[in-house]
Amino acid sequence: MNKAFQRKLTALQHPQAAKFDATDPMQFKHLILWIEDQQIRQYKIDERAALRNLQEPDWTKGFETYLKDVSCPFPSNDRMSVLDWLLGLAVRLEFGDNVEKYGKITGAAVEAKRKQASAPTSTISIQNICADDQSFRNGINSIAKILQVPLHEDYLVTLKAIKILVEERLTPDAIEKAKNKKAERGVSRIPVADNELGFDTKDPIVNEAAKALRLLHIQELRQLQNKINEAIVSVQTITANPKTDQRLGKVGR
């Protein structure tokens, strides 16, 4: 795992890239601060005090706030995934700041890239994907969380679930079919926040739950009313055109 971090740390020219131990809490804290100071720079210098208080018990609280501010998809307690994600972000920012520096490649490299681009897609994918790479696994977990796919202990199973979801729901054809079905049903979404509850429980969470229950109750009442209307129409159809047996009728005495 440290080898995966080592490549990125070397690319970022970290002075302890070869000796960094991701399992050491203090080294972890120092690296988070170094990444923010040198690469990401989400905060102004005077706003990084919480990350600088390495010995303070509140460092974790400041770290959690920092992850939210940089939109990290992983929780603070999943430190290996968080660190890998932050290093990836730092590498992307480093490249963006030095496009000309890293863009100067030799003619031979350009030719190699041209040949690679003309190769079949399947060949490129096989060559570039390393199943044992921690970055690859973290990427799968990140996509799964975005798509709300439950994580499996075997990351290949998670990848297969993502593939099935994308094929069934996220392809252009699947999205178009979903839109058509929605239009046919006349379905419209009502945001819970826009619904008036009519009373206040003094608890925002309970209020939101009550709003959702109220909408569900209204939906049930509408479905019941629709069934009642259908029953009335059926009865009216029978009474408006009654079937009579003329053999039972009598005229005169």
Q: How far is Cα 166 from Cα 189, in angstroms, rounded to an integer?
A: 23
Give the Cβ contact number of residue 215 at 10 Å: 14
Q: Report the pLDDT value the prediction gives residue 130, as an integer from 0 to 100.
A: 59
Tell whether 159 and 202 lie within a shared domain.
no
Q: Report the pLDDT value the prediction gives residue 67, as an integer from 0 to 100.
A: 92
Tell whether 86 and 176 lie within a shared domain.
no
Mean pLDDT of each 10-residue bin along the chain, 253 residues long: 74 84 87 89 88 83 90 89 88 69 47 52 48 73 82 79 81 76 58 66 75 77 82 72 55 51
State which of 71, 104, 137 marks the end of a domain.
104
Q: Report the pLDDT value the prediction gives residue 162, as an integer from 0 to 100.
A: 85
Q: Which amino acid is at 104?
A: K
Q: Report the pLDDT value the prediction gives residue 108, as an integer from 0 to 100.
A: 46
The answer to whether residue 111 sits within a structural domain is no
Name every residue whose Cβ is closer than 8 Å to that of residue 90 and which is 6 or more positions away in sequence: 8, 12, 35, 38, 39, 40
Tell whether 77 and 18 lie within a shared domain.
yes
Residue numbers of the domain that contains 222: 192-240
Q: Report the pLDDT value the prediction gives residue 247, as an integer from 0 to 100.
A: 57
Give the Cβ contact number of residue 232 at 10 Å: 10
Tell whether 145 and 82 lie within a shared domain.
no
Tell whether 77 and 1 lie within a shared domain.
yes
Residue 233 tokens, joined: 């129409």
